[in-house]
Amino acid sequence: MPPAKLSAQGEFLSHLDPRLWDQVRETLKQTLGLQIFQNWIQPLIFKAYQDHQVVLEAPTPFIRDWVTTHYLETLYKAFRQQRPEFKSLTLNVFSSSSSGPLPIVEEMTSDPARLDPLSSHEGDERLLIGSPLDPRLTFENFVVGKPNELAHAAARRVAESTSVPFNPLFLYGGVGLGKTHLMHAIAHHIQHIHPRRKVMYLSAEKFMYQFIKALRFRDTVAFKERFRSVDVLMIDDVQFISGKDSTQEEFFHTFNALVDQNRQVIISADKSPSSLEGMEERMRSRLGWGLVADIHPTTYELRLGILQTKAEQFSFSIPPKILEFLAHKITSNIRELEGALTRVVAHTTLVGRQMTLEMVQDVLRDLLKSYDRVLTVEDIQRRVAEYYRIRLADIHSPKRTKTVTLPRQVAMFLAKQLTSKSLPEIGRQFGGRDHTTVLHGVRKIEELMNTNAAVREDIELLRKTLQA
């Protein structure tokens, strides 16, 4: 790198290296397509390239987070393609004076010598043995509820202990429920309080890839060395190596070597140790020796808590009823829930429209459809009629007496909230009413929900029973 020159603005000109950014942007335009490029990459500002580290700035926290979740790997690759010695990337929010830089990628091992043996085979491509940590996956950002309290407590214990409280810690649960989040949180915490402890996090898939590569280059001794010198080893999604015999064998030896030396091992999988098919019996039994903690499917309370936490992190407020709607509807897992929220926020930001329930339903139409199999407008009408003790036919009829109008509007409101049907579609199922009538009904109930406790309770109760 040429010696740094100070410009009139006091910036180090040599650190700007504008050609690098131009080249990277060109690559990104190709790989991501023009639309994505214009929305997400164009707004980024290239601030510096120094000590093989790139600093970028995003105009808003939201763009920073979106780029981090969606395009980080692509950015990483593009920089590495231009500068093989490129090490890491930092994405800050533009002119953020108080908050320090947020490193979005960091490497598990801070000692570069530990990376050398394998990378020499790779020419310019640098080989990381551990995977990068996502800085957002911390304990602070992890919302604790009934379904995950055991796993969370166990993870905390491992992260805070200087000894090895249980070995291994085996975390399991369905997809998108927080296993990876907890593992990263453990790694962050240990790195923070014991910077000298060597923590290595990687997916089982990556473990296999590295192992096969070591075999190919007859480098298995260095491979073993590297794993066996860590203090804490975390292997994510270990079900991946089910049925892959030689990788499993190697993993088993690594695992035993570490446990014998009293090093902490943390494993995650989508099933309990005993249910891991394609895994050798001795392996399954060994995995269950420490503490086995499962993460259960989410509850409404946990989903709402997570949404509220995430919403606070965005820079504009999201109406509570939208968060409640999402928590009611998106029940599969947290990743999908987060994805839905991000989509809604992205949409609002990009089109500059106000966030309303209608818009949310519109933006998430495809996603919501998959949840609608169970609950139909007819179900809602039937349940509401029962609840208010009117005949189902009255809901469809043109009658406008008070005893049927309120239930009818409640049913419209619930149909709008709990299904992804549009206003005209709902209108048709209410005796062929116009969409403006439905809209009027929905608004009327929204208003009553704020002013009339009895109506609010009716609706909460109905919603609970409909979604049970």
Binding site for Mg ion (CB under 5 A): 179-180
Task: Quote the least distance from Cβ 234 to Mg ion, whole Å.
Answer: 11
Q: Looking up tokens 């004076």, which residue turns up?
A: 97
* Rounded-to-integer distance, Cα 236 and Cα 206, Å: 9
Which one of 83-91, 171-179, 220-228, 376-384 is the stretch in contact with ligand ADP (CB under 6 A)?
171-179
Between 336 and 362, name the residue whose CB sits nearer to ligand ADP: 336
Task: Quote the least distance from Cβ 169 to ligand ADP, whole Å.
Answer: 14
Task: Quote the least distance from Cβ 75 to Mg ion, whole Å.
Answer: 21
Residues 56 and 23 sit within 8 Å (Cβ to Cβ): no
Which of Mg ion, ligand ADP, none does 131 bind, CB closer than 5 to 8 A by kind? none
- Options 114, 179, 303, 421; binder of ligand ADP; rule CB under 6 A: 179
Residue 56 engages ligand ADP in binding (rule: CB under 6 A): no
DSSP bridge partners of 267: 170, 235
Buried-exposed string 22-46: b where 16+ CB fall within 10 A, e elsewhere:
ebbbebbeeebeeebbebbbeebeb
Between 147 and 407, name the residue whose CB sits nearer to ligand ADP: 147
CB atoms within 10 A of CB 219: 18
Residues 180 and 268 sit within 8 Å (Cβ to Cβ): yes
Between 200 and 385, name the residue whose CB sits nearer to ligand ADP: 200
Residue whose beta carbon is closest to ligand ADP: 178
* Rounded-to-integer distance, Cα 116 and Cα 114, Å: 6
The first and second tokens of residue 123, run together, are: 């020419």
Which one of 12-20, 135-143, 256-264, 408-416 is the stretch in contact with ligand ADP (CB under 6 A)?
135-143
Residue 335 engages ligand ADP in binding (rule: CB under 6 A): yes
Residue 106 engages ligand ADP in binding (rule: CB under 6 A): no
Which of ligand ADP, Mg ion, none does 334 bind, CB closer than 5 to 8 A by kind? ligand ADP
* Rounded-to-integer distance, Cα 447 and Cα 442, Å: 9
Per-residue DSSP letters for 102-145? -BS-B-S---GGGGHHHHGGGTT----SSPPBPTT-SSTTPPP-
- Options 143, 159, 232, 279; binder of ligand ADP; rule CB under 6 A: 143
* Rounded-to-integer distance, Cα 387 and Cα 154, Å: 45
Between 46 and 142, name the residue whose CB sits nearer to ligand ADP: 142
Residues forming contacts to ligand ADP in the complex (CB under 6 A) are: 137, 141-143, 148, 173, 175-181, 306, 334-335, 338
